[in-house]
């Protein structure tokens, strides 16, 4: 059977959203960025809001996110994306504004912008990628590196006595009155991808309600930075990252979910 015989409309069960450009992704094989980009673009496509969306790329591996997403985008200085988003949303209150940030960006250098943007209750969506490491700069310790985890700047493992504790910033922002929806997701398995997409959809739909920040964390692997194969990295993530960063909704409709740890046990 020739390729042209296989690729026929009646055989088509899935297609890439046109909101993902044809540029070759700059991410390592096994990285979650590509899938998370796709989820966001699919949600925007399905909601039909491409002409009303403005995205903000951070500093980090996804600094070139605008090469892959066919939407209007700005590139922010390290950590400052929520401030840009605030400026945009205040000027265009009826447009959809989202930031796309890594853990170093959002939970270290941009902590002040993250906390205050959430606390002001800006009607934006924050997509937060937590892979426990600085990927682009070559695998240094991040604010989210878990205790004992090795990185190029914690080569003997993160020692919490001298290096401090990993910051669960998602749980922290969930406690602020300005956040309306806070969730933690992953994209390591098809089931997780489906759940994650629902969370992203809700995070964008919520902007219409004007009730505050919708914040979705993705616990993601960085097999290059972790120096593992993609398969091993996913396994390590499930065994070590998920217990520290349990998946599931943390705040829904402005209300904290009390039984968070039980609720998240059912991830695929």
Q: Is 88 in the site for another protein (CB under 8 A)?
A: yes
Contact residue for another protein among 41, 85, 118, 182 (CB under 8 A): 85
CA pair distance 140, 145, nearest whole angstrom:
9
CA pair distance 163, 153, nearest whole angstrom:
10
Per rule CB under 8 A, count of chain residues that contact another protein: 35
Q: Is 210 in the site for another protein (CB under 8 A)?
A: no
Strand-pairing partners, residue 215, are: 126, 182
Beta carbons within 8 Å of 12's beta carbon, 6+ residues apart: none
Strand-pairing partners, residue 75, are: 57
CA pair distance 182, 54, nearest whole angstrom:
21
Q: Is 72 in the site for another protein (CB under 8 A)?
A: yes
Nearer to another protein, 173 or 192 (CB): 173
Q: Is 145 helix (H, G, I), strand (E, B) or coil?
A: coil
Contact residue for another protein among 103, 113, 217, 249 (CB under 8 A): 113
Nearer to another protein, 194 or 210 (CB): 210
- The CA–CA distances, whole Å, from 3 to 6, 10, 11, 40 equal 5, 14, 12, 30
Q: Is 105 in the site for another protein (CB under 8 A)?
A: no
Q: Is 118 in the site for another protein (CB under 8 A)?
A: no
Strand-pairing partners, residue 185, are: 218
What is the smallest separation between the CB atom of 70 and another protein, expressed in angstroms? Answer: 5
Contact residue for another protein among 16, 29, 46, 90 (CB under 8 A): 90
Q: Is 53 in the site for another protein (CB under 8 A)?
A: yes
Q: Is 174 in the site for another protein (CB under 8 A)?
A: no
Identify the residue whose tokens are 């039984």: 259
Please give the residue ranges that form the binding site for another protein (CB under 8 A): 49-54, 56-57, 63-64, 66, 69-77, 80, 83-88, 90-92, 95-96, 112-113, 116
């Amino acid at each position: 059977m020739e390729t042209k015989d296989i690729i026929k409309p009646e055989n088509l069960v899935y297609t890439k959203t046109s909101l993902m450009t044809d540029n070759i992704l700059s991410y390592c094989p096994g990285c979650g960025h590509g899938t998370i980009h796709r989820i966001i673009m699919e949600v925007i496509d399905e909601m039909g809001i491409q002409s009303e969306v403005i995205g903000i790329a951070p500093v980090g591996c996804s600094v070139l996110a605008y090469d892959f997403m066919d939407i209007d985008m700005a590139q922010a200085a390290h950590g400052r994306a929520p401030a840009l988003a605030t400026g945009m949303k205040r000027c265009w209150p009826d447009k959809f504004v989202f930031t796309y940030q890594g853990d170093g960006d959002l939970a270290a250098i941009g902590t002040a912008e993250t906390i205050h943007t959430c606390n002001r209750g800006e009607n934006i969506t924050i997509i937060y990628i937590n892979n426990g490491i600085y990927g682009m700069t070559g695998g240094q310790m991040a604010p989210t590196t878990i205790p004992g985890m090795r990185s190029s700047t914690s080569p003997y493992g993160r020692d919490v006595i001298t290096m401090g504790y990993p910051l669960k910033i998602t749980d922290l922002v969930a406690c602020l009155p300005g956040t309306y929806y806070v969730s933690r997701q992953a994209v390591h398995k098809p089931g997780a991808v489906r759940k994650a997409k629902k969370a992203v959809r809700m995070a964008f739909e919520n902007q219409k309600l004007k009730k505050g920040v919708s914040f979705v964390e993705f616990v993601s692997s960085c097999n290059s930075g972790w120096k593992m194969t993609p398969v091993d990295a996913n396994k390590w993530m499930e065994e070590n990252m998920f217990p520290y960063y349990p998946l599931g909704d943390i705040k829904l409709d402005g209300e904290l979910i009390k039984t968070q740890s039980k609720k998240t046990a059912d991830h695929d």
